[in-house]
Amino acid sequence: MKRRDLVLIAALALLGLAVLTIALLQNRSKTSAGRMQVFVDGSLYTEVPLEAGKTLAIRQENGAENVIHMTKDGFYMESANCRNQDCVHQGPVTQDNWKTRVLGTHVICLPNRVDVVLVTDEYDPELPDV
């Protein structure tokens, strides 16, 4: 094997490593623990990073309004103008509690058709699907 072969091999290996690292990092930021998704009527409305103390208001044309309060590792429904207030009573979702919640990573406002989801990349085959 010649010297320039070694150089080529080393260069390719480095390139591979670099691309691998970038791919991994991108993957992590995509499914980071610190994000939440909001679905309105089944369609993705927005996906935002969590910022403790910040609120996000979802106002729809039909007058429906939900206010989501973010925490350092989750969120809760602060208020909603829906008739049953179930979403407010569903309490907070956090990185600690979602595995034991019936609704898992979700807080759902049925009358307003708002579904807020904590993004998590953890996979455990024994967790319920529904």
Partner 1 sequence: MPMAFRRSLACLAAVFYLLLCSCAPQGADASAAAQKFSGTFYGAFDTVISLIGYTEKEETFNAAFAETQEIFMHYHRIYDAYNAYDGINNLYAVNHSAGTGPVAAEPELIDLLLYMKELQPLLLGRVNIALGAVLSCWHEYREAGQAVPPVEQLQALAEHCSYDDVIINEEAGTVFFADPYLQLDLGAVAKGYACERAAQALLNGPMPSFIISAGGNVRCGLSPLDGRLHWGVGIQDPIAPSFLNQIMETLYTHDMSVVTSGDYQRYYEVNGVRYHHIIDPDTLFPSGFMHSVTVLTQDSALADALSTCFFLLPYEEGRVLADSMEGVEVYWVLNDGSVYFTAGMGPLLRSQGASSLR
Nearer to partner 1, 69 or 113 (CB): 113
CB of 51 to partner 1, least distance (A): 23
- Which residues contribute to the site for partner 1 (CB under 8 A)? 1-2, 5, 8-9, 12-13, 15-16, 19-20, 23-24, 27, 39, 41-42, 89-91, 100-104, 108, 110, 113, 115, 123, 125-130
Let me know: does 66 contact 58? Beta carbons within 8 Å.
Answer: yes
CB of 90 to partner 1, least distance (A): 6
* Element at 41 (helix H, strand E): none
Nearer to partner 1, 34 or 111 (CB): 111
Residues 6+ apart with CB under 8 A from 37: 44, 46, 47, 116, 117, 119
Count of residues for the chain? 130
Query: 23 in helix, strand or coil?
Result: helix
Nearer to partner 1, 48 or 108 (CB): 108
Residues 6+ apart with CB under 8 A from 35: 47, 48, 49, 50, 118, 119
CB of 49 to partner 1, least distance (A): 21
CB of 32 to partner 1, least distance (A): 14
